[in-house]
Structure 1
Amino acid sequence: MSNTTFTWRRVAAMGAVAALSFGALTACSSERGDSGSTGDASADGGAASADPGDVLVGIAMPTKSLERWNRDGAHLEELLKDDGFSTSLQYADNKVDQQISQVENMINDGADILVVASIDGTALAPVLQTAADAGITVIAYDRLINGTDNVDYYATFDNYGVGQMQGEFIVDQLDLENTTETYNLEPFAGSPDDNNAKFFFAGAWDVLQPYVESGTLVVPSGKAPASDDDWQSIGIQGWSSDTAQSEMENRLNSFYSGGEKVDVVLSPNDSLALGIAQALAGAGYTPGDGYPILTGQDADKANVLNMLAGKQAMTVWKDTRTLGDQVATMVSEIAAGQEVTVNDTESYDNGNKVVPTYLLPPQVITPDTVNVLVDSGFYTAADLGL
């Protein structure tokens, strides 16, 4: 695939983005892999198209150390190969420099489209300028890439909605609207270098902060951000389970040594929840009455098993297979010179531009509803000991 062809398609895509700014875009109705769909034509009336066999798609994933990124990378690569695309899938061990080097190699190898799940959403601007100069279209995968004009599309879940679900679950479980009791809360936030983390926290904190201000929820550690904008003060770098465990241990040892009990822990994802559950176990908390409400996200297998064992109250499931499906659709549309399917043109400002985005819906999973994960094929019953 020549850079000339994709440079022309990039111009067409950016023309479509300009149209978005004036409210001209509506989401396409095409299904993945159906190039003869009834979706809208590209903004220039028909940009150059390419045979998938001539298109190399570079896929940059953050790490293999978390279950979800293994699933995401393998699923997206399988979809694209089934559609006839050539792929280069790389994992960066959560090392920013390694991810930059991998993206550079993809560019040098002649990638036509890049799908990037960034480790640090602020660190990729220089390498993406190189991609833009080569006429490469860039899709940010699940994590927004900030501080650059050279990210064309973004696909993710409703991340603010994820946090809302966690906050609303806590409100419902403790009946905070009607209770006269007070409860001890310890809030956590995600990695400060992950743009999604601020949305997760904002969604939850907008629900919970009024109860903190009223005194219904008390934060003995004092680690209650004054506003959504202060979320990084309680962020756990790299979404590390070990760091979350150490932080929770410090809070329990420092603020709960006189017999006080923590009633609820706001954990933005399952990786942090694993570490927090370990800290709770070390402090003598056992499943059953009096065990804290612990939230999570991702429906990782270890956390679903923890839910079934009474060590975690809920997780927010983002069926990442649907994210891969959507990104595969976007890749196919780009290669076909079609207008790219998005459904949000207002929410995701990366500091340089509002990035056209496709949002997917998340779902709350509790111990009573884990069969949804089996019925969907995400896990087998044997995986979960059911």
Structure 2
Amino acid sequence: MQGRSLLIAATAATALVLAGCGGPGAGGGGGARDANADPSDLRIGISLPSQDEERWISDSAAIEQGLADLGYQIDLQFANNDIPTQQQQVDQMITQGADLLILAPLDGTALSPQLQAAEGADIPIISYDRLIRNSDDVDLYVTFDNFKVGAQQATSLLRGLGVLGPDGADTGKRGPFNVELFGGSLDDNNATFVFNGAMSVLQPYLDNGTLVVKSAQTQLAQIATENWSQQKAQERMDNLLTAHYSDGSRVDAVLTPNDSVARGAITALQNAGYGPTLESGPRPMPITTGQDAEIASVKMVSDGVQYSTVFKDTRVLADQAVHGADDLLKGKEPELNDTESYDNGAMIVPSFLVPVHAIYRDNIDTVLVDSGYYTAQEVQVGRLE
């Protein structure tokens, strides 16, 4: 993590400088691209959802550094969670001569006109982390194994309740336990994979009564969290507590799809008198899951407030996108490890899935600190330095 703060701070400024280089047609605009062209003559447009989430800042820094190391021109833009802004930014990338696009769409179907324009200009497209849907104009999808993310979240929840042991074996403990479910944003295809992964593990325990959802809200459309918003998650958790737990019953666990949603749910639970930790208070904090291993949530796991999160090493994902872009621009086949799972409605998108890791209080040091992703000091204070 040495120097990460400087790299992140420089990202926006560097993007503005590089976005101004070359002007229209700087790299030949795709159609005129030469597979033997020098990277310094080629321009790569990158569109990411926002700067509101820590993970997109980390992704942007890693992608930008990797492409810069190879010598490419870079046009990096953040859409500020606004679909028209992302459409306009991608349009601009195309007209200014992008030779390849790396896109993390806010809405998997909203970039159709831009994708068609890119296809017409022979501009390769990499769908980054979030799947571009209903288009056959996608050359590569690089993402984490999001079905496994959900499965790991559900396994962590069952482990925290004691239904599963540390080795994953069923302990025979049957509760019943009151559980509430949260999902991701419906416009993000990853939310479906995460939800389906979680339910593949939880459904047998819902069926046999080990887990009870008092709200009866178990469908993704019922539990989705717009824009993965912490505030909306807090509001929904508040409503669930008022509507279904005012009789004195307690929430034993909350399946939350990422760390921002987890923090929203935890805030509502704390305000309702839960906690302060998993092991203290008249009503201990419920078992709560997460995703992204954001530093604020890693501290909460370390402090025993949040039970677990799922670490997705954005350094590895960014590196895969960088190498995929380099291969495509050089006329090579990019590395793949999945050609079956991701049907976007128009095609099976050739994909590379990056592995994920469950994070608990006892493996923060070995997985996150020893790998250099965070420092021990960052974990202790809960912020990047």
SS in 2 for 1:259: coil
SS in 2 for 1:383: helix
Separation in 1, partners of 2:297, 2:29: 46
Listed as ranges, the matches of 1:363-382 within 5 Å are 363-371=357-365, 372-382=367-377
How many residues align? The count is 344
Give the direction of change, closer, same or farther, for the CA distance of 1:109–1:5 in structure 2 (3 Å limit).
Answer: closer
- TM-score norm. by structure 2 comes to 0.86
Separation in 1, partners of 2:302, 2:156: 17
- TM-score norm. by structure 1 comes to 0.86
Separation in 2, partners of 1:304, 1:173: 16
Query: In structure 2, which of residues 297, 308, 315 is the aligned counterpart of residue 314 of structure 1?
Result: 308
Q: Which residue of 1 aligns with 2:253?
A: 264
Separation in 2, partners of 1:148, 1:337: 22
Separation in 2, partners of 1:132, 1:123: 16
**Cα drift, residue 171 of structure 1:** 2.2
Query: Aligned pair 1:74/2:61, yes or no?
Result: yes
The answer to whether the Cα contact below 8 Å between 1:5 and 1:48 also exists between their aligned partners in 2 is: no
Write the letter of the residue equivalent to 1:91.
F
Q: Which residue of 1 aligns with 2:12?
A: none
Separation in 1, partners of 2:348, 2:27: 26
Query: Aligned pair 1:132/2:119, yes or no?
Result: yes
Write the letter of the residue equivalent to 1:193.
D
Q: Which residue of 2 aligns with 1:235?
A: 224
Query: Whose RCO is larger (CA < 8 A, sep 6+)?
Result: 1
Q: Which residue of 1 aligns with 2:137?
A: 150
Separation in 2, partners of 1:57, 1:143: 18
- Listed as ranges, the gaps of 5+ residues in structure 1 are 10-46, 226-230
Query: In structure 2, which of residues 318, 334, 345 is the aligned counterpart of residue 324 of structure 1?
Result: 318
The answer to whether the Cα contact below 8 Å between 2:44 and 2:75 also exists between their aligned partners in 1 is: yes
Query: In structure 2, which of residues 351, 372, 380 is the aligned counterpart of residue 385 of structure 1?
Result: 380
Query: Aligned pair 1:161/2:156, yes or no?
Result: no
Listed as ranges, the matches of 1:1-386 within 5 Å are 6-7=30-31, 48-176=35-163, 177=170, 178-225=172-219, 231-286=220-275, 287=277, 288-289=279-280, 290-371=284-365, 372-385=367-380
The answer to whether the Cα contact below 8 Å between 2:160 and 2:307 also exists between their aligned partners in 1 is: no
Quick one: percent identity of the two aligned structures? 46
Separation in 2, partners of 1:374, 1:312: 18
Separation in 1, partners of 2:348, 2:38: 30
Q: Which residue of 2 aligns with 1:15?
A: none
The answer to whether the Cα contact below 8 Å between 1:3 and 1:134 also exists between their aligned partners in 2 is: no
Q: Which residue of 2 aligns with 1:28?
A: none
**Cα drift, residue 233 of structure 1:** 2.2
RMSD: 1.6
1:35-78: per-residue Cα shift (whole Å, max 9, x none)?
xxxxxxxxxxxx93321111100000000000000110111011
SS in 2 for 1:364: strand
Separation in 2, partners of 1:291, 1:194: 29
**Cα drift, residue 5 of structure 1:** 8.8
The answer to whether the Cα contact below 8 Å between 2:26 and 2:41 also exists between their aligned partners in 1 is: no
1:258-304: per-residue Cα shift (whole Å, max 9, x none)?
11100000001001001011001100011124321000000001101
The answer to whether the Cα contact below 8 Å between 1:125 and 1:150 also exists between their aligned partners in 2 is: no
SS in 1 for 2:127: strand
**Cα drift, residue 172 of structure 1:** 2.5
